[in-house]
Amino acid sequence: METIHAGLIGFGNIGSGTVKLLRENGGLIEKRLGARIVIKKIADLDLKTPRPVAVDRKMLTRDAKAIFNDPEISIVIELVGGYEPAKSFILEAIRQGKHVVTANKALLATYGDEIFKAAEERGVNIGFEASVGGTIPVIKTLRESLAANRVRSIFSILNGTTNYILTKMSDEGKNYKTVLREAQSLGFAEADPTFDVEGIDTAHKLGIVLSLSYGKRVNLADIYREGITGVSQQDIEFAKELGYKIKLLAIAIQRGDAIEARIHPTMIPFDHLLASVNSNYNALHIRGDASGPVFLYGQGSGMMPTASAVVADLIDIARDIQKGVSRRVPSRSLSEGGIEEIDLMPMDEIVTNYYFRFSALDRPGVLSKISGILGKHNISIASVIQKGRAPDKAGSVPVVMTTHESREKDMRAALKEIDRLAVLKGKTVRIRIEDDRLK
């Protein structure tokens, strides 16, 4: 039986899971593949911290060069994370004609052009199934299973930490800060949670998804991004009353030749599959023009779920090696020369439904003033909730409205005008409402 040798750089959580999985299910994988995948060397700067798997000390090295220079190693697994030295490691592996498997979404989203081009020129594969949606077969589904489709839209939950926080806020009635602290103590959120809660990690993943779905290169900074730090318990409760859950969605929509890409807290109807995605799970609701809606769901992170995707990539590449071929499928669905740079649709132009929560003084005529301004800006009201309740400390009561489809530009102009009204205290909260089943 043929043995295919891999070298692992980065012996952390996912790296340990990869070693563990190849060991525990090695026999099964051999039977399925007809070959043996062996991790021959592991490079990490920290060789002292105990790992969840025991490995022969002779496999370990502090020098990644030991992997690049080993002619027997045909696949390099990069699980260091971050930009450098991960990028240099990957480029060096490619230069040495080795295939690469990586889970590094930040790197691929930012330096993907350089890395994918180098791989194409050198004729090696880049496996990155683990970079988006953890264990969920996102890359394979978009690149292979839906290859006959024009992707009309993708509505997705791509970050487990924020989904965990929003789920806890919704289920337990706790506020953002309390849940964040709990998530941090459980290891579900980083000490500095910015990357997750501001939607930056989600943007990296959406960037990768966009390039696969549309063959387009996007500037990450052009993706509209709004995190979850402003989501309040009060809005979660009003959302429930209106039949919605609030989720941080990564949205891509094809609009003729343009593409809309945005990340923001979103109200979605209870009976939408995405509303049932709880805790730290990820999911994608993809609409192909032929396939119709396809929904994929699973663990977006975690040692073994992510290792499952890493080893799937190893097996995929091993099948190519066995057949003496490579790059059977282009890294990003098209040959790199075919991937065009595009401008995303300006946020002002998008059309959606809105939820507004006004903090109004409890005086006659407030509703008429607000609705008058909305009407002037072509925003038509779908529902209103105003309850007789005691004013808060600032003397205001919440007035909630949802709108029919309106243009973002009009919404901004209207809120600017409304927020100047003397009867309003504090800035109006607005959350977009979406239901891609209707589009």
Q: Enumerate the active-site residues.
A: 205
**9, 21, 115, 267: which one binds its own copies (CB under 8 A):** 21
Give the C-alpha separation, 305 to 282, whole Å: 12
Which 3 state secondary structure label does DSSP give 98?
coil
The answer to whether residues 277 and 98 touch, using CB atoms and an 8 Å cutoff, is no
**107, 179, 311, 360: which one binds its own copies (CB under 8 A):** 311
- Interface with its own copies, residue 340, by CB under 8 A: no
- Interface with its own copies, residue 122, by CB under 8 A: no
- Interface with its own copies, residue 79, by CB under 8 A: no
Among residues 135 and 428, whose Cβ is nearest to its own copies?
Answer: 135
- Interface with its own copies, residue 258, by CB under 8 A: no
Q: Minimum distance between the CB of residue 142 and its own copies, rounded to whole angstroms?
A: 10
Token representation of residue 344: 């995303």
Count CB-CB contacts under 10 A for residue 94.
Answer: 24
- Interface with its own copies, residue 269, by CB under 8 A: no
Instruction: Candidates 72-80, 100-108, 290-298, 369-377: pick the segment binding its own copies (CB under 8 A).
Output: 290-298
397 to 296, 391, 394: CA distances (angstroms):
41, 5, 9
**217, 293, 386, 391: which one binds its own copies (CB under 8 A):** 293
- Interface with its own copies, residue 85, by CB under 8 A: no
Give the C-alpha separation, 270 to 333, whole Å: 34
Q: Give me the half-sphere count of Cα atoms (radius 13 Å) on the Cβ side of residue 309.
A: 28
Find tokens 């006004």 and name the residue.
358
Q: What is 193-222 written as a DSSP string? A: -HHHHTTHHHHHHHHHHHHHHH-EE--GGG
Instruction: Candidates 61-69, 101-109, 187-195, 293-301: pick the segment binding its own copies (CB under 8 A).
Output: 293-301
- Interface with its own copies, residue 243, by CB under 8 A: no
Q: Give me the half-sphere count of Cα atoms (radius 13 Å) on the Cβ side of residue 92.
A: 16
Token representation of residue 372: 């008058």
39, containing H or E segment: strand 35-43
- Interface with its own copies, residue 307, by CB under 8 A: yes
Among residues 329 and 382, whose Cβ is nearest to its own copies?
Answer: 329
- Whether a cis peptide bond, with omega within 30° of 0, leads into 85 is yes
Give the C-alpha separation, 21 to 111, whole Å: 29
Instruction: Candidates 74-82, 118-126, 136-144, 239-247: pick the segment binding its own copies (CB under 8 A).
Output: 136-144
Find tokens 């990644």 and name the residue.
64
**12, 302, 362, 412: which one binds its own copies (CB under 8 A):** 302
- Interface with its own copies, residue 273, by CB under 8 A: yes
**Binding pattern to its own copies, positions 153-192, x when CB under 8 A?**
----------------------------------------
Give the C-alpha separation, 15 to 25, whole Å: 15
**3, 25, 194, 279: which one binds its own copies (CB under 8 A):** 25
- Interface with its own copies, residue 321, by CB under 8 A: no
Give the C-alpha separation, 143 to 263, whole Å: 22
Residues that bind its own copies (CB under 8 A): 17, 21-22, 25, 28-29, 31-34, 129, 135-137, 140-141, 144-150, 215, 271, 273, 276, 283, 288-299, 302, 304-305, 307-309, 311-312, 315-316, 319-320, 322-325, 328-330, 333-335, 338
